[in-house]
Amino acid sequence: MKSFTAGQNDAGQRADKFLSKAVPLLPKNLMYRYIRLKRIKINGRRCEISQKIQVGDVIELYINDEFFESKPDRPFLRAPAQPEIIYEDENILIANKKSGLAVHADDSGDCDTLIDRIQHYLYNKGEYDPDGELSFAPALCNRIDRNTTGLVICAKNAESLRILDQKIKDREVKKSYLCVCIGIPAPREGMITTYLEKDEKTKTVRVVKQKTPRSRTAVTKYKVLAQSGELALCEVHLITGRTHQIRVHMAHIGCPLLGDGKYGRNEANRKYGVKTQALQSHRLVFDFCTDSGILEYLSGREFCAPKPWFADKYFKNTEVIL
CA distance 180 to 128: 38
Note the pLDDT of residue 219: 96
CA distance 198 to 275: 23
Non-local (6+) Cβ contacts of 29 within 8 A are: none
CA distance 184 to 190: 12
At residue 3 the predicted structure's pLDDT band, cuts being 50, 70 and 90, is very high
Active-site residue flag, 145: yes
The residue-averaged pLDDT of 163-185 equals: 96
Note the pLDDT of residue 109: 65
What 292-299 contacts at long range (C-beta under 8 Å, 24+ apart), as own/partner pairs, is 292/163, 292/167, 292/172, 293/159, 293/163, 294/91, 294/159, 294/160, 294/163, 295/91, 295/92, 295/160, 295/163, 295/164, 295/167, 298/92
What is the pTM for the complete model shown?
Answer: 0.89
Phi, psi of 277 (to 5 degrees): -60, 140
CA distance 282 to 92: 18
**Above 90 in pLDDT, residue 170?**
yes
Note the pLDDT of residue 322: 66
CA distance 231 to 252: 16
Selection from 101, 121, 141, 156 nearest residue 284 by Cα: 141
* Structural domains of the chain ordered from first start: 2-67 (3.10.290.10), 75-169 (3.30.2350.10), 174-286+298-315 (3.30.2350.10)
Selection from 275, 249, 250, 273 nearest residue 260 by Cα: 275
At residue 71 the predicted structure's pLDDT band, cuts being 50, 70 and 90, is low
Asked whether 137 and 77 are in contact (CB, 8 A), the reply is no
E-assigned strand segments in the chain: 2-5, 40-42, 45-46, 58-61, 85-88, 92-97, 139-140, 149-155, 173-182, 189-199, 204-208, 215-228, 231-238, 279-286, 302-304
Which residues are bridge partners to 285 per DSSP? 174, 302
Q: Which helix or strand (DSSP H or E) is residue 143 part of?
A: none
CA distance 206 to 215: 9
List pLDDT tens digits, range 121-158: 999 999 999 988 989 999 999 999 999 999 999 999 99
The single residue of 145, 199, 260, 291 carrying the catalytic annotation is: 145
Residue type, 150: G
The residue-averaged pLDDT of 105-128 equals: 89
Peptide bond preceding 185 in cis form (omega within 30 of 0): no
